[in-house]
Chains A and B, each alone.
Chain A
Amino acid sequence: NAGVMQNPRHLVRRRGQEARLRCSPMKGHSHVYWYRQLPEEGLKFMVYLQKENIIDESGMPKERFSAEFPKEGPSILRIQQVVRGDSAAYFCASSPQTPVTLNTGELFFGEGSRLTVL
């Protein structure tokens, strides 16, 4: 049973370009979370999605960032017009349960996508 798959593992973009990060959750999981880790900082929550719905995007920057989790296919985190401050590791995690029943607290993480903006 494959774990959470993220790609690309490493992505280099020039300022002003777009970055697209993909996340395929574990089989049977319908909840996806995106976290960002800036250099020397902790994990910061960005967005929580279920299939075709954004449940909580309180951690998403108001501009340039968007996320989706379509009925078919992976979840995608999209960053438009990247700037150097977007350089970070972006982690995706999945869960089979809603927050209300997330009493195990176990999120299953991918290995991350490391974005470098030149």
Chain B
Amino acid sequence: GNSVTQMEGPVTLSEEAFLTINCTYTATGYPSLFWYVQYPGEGLQLLLKATKADDKGSNKGFEATYRKETTSFHLEKGSVQVSDSAVYFCALWKGSASKIIFGSGTRLSIRP
């Protein structure tokens, strides 16, 4: 079946460090891929998305590229801030299914 596997956390970085959170997926065909973020005490919100191979989603300095050949959608940011501390969820939507499938989430903590 369809599934998402993402990097286990927690991840702790210093401010201005480079961030990568790995995400790989299993699905037939061409799913749409997403990153959602959950800030402390809040619900999830969409961070970025990509709907076809080689698409790059970007938002708030975060980027992720849809790599069909490696079935990956890694999240990156060049210089993280304390305010980026949150839980990040990778997700896919197969199209014909009625639900979005989420990974287990990666908790990110940024030290000042």
Contact = CB atoms under 8 A, between A and B. Distances in A.
Interface of A: 3-4, 33, 35, 40-45, 48, 55-56, 58-59, 91, 93, 99, 102-112
12 contacts: A3-B43, A42-B4, A42-B89, A43-B44, A43-B89, A43-B102, A91-B43, A99-B97, A102-B93, A105-B32, A105-B34, A107-B46
**Interface size bucket, B side?**
20 to 34
Contacts of B44: 43, 91, 93, 107, 109
A43 B32 CA distance: 17
Interface of B: 4, 32, 34, 36, 41-46, 49, 51, 89, 91, 93, 96-105
Contacts of A108: 45
A62 B4 CA distance: 24
Q: Which 3 A-B pairs have the closest CB atoms?
A: A109-B43, A42-B104, A43-B102
Majority SS at the chain A contact face: loop
Given A91-B44, A103-B51, A109-B45, A56 B105 contact: no
Contacts of B100: 45, 105, 107
Given A102-B93, A111-B41, A42 B49 contact: no
Contact of A59 (B42, B99, B103): B99
A77 to B, nearest CB: 15
Contact of A42 (B32, B34, B103): B103
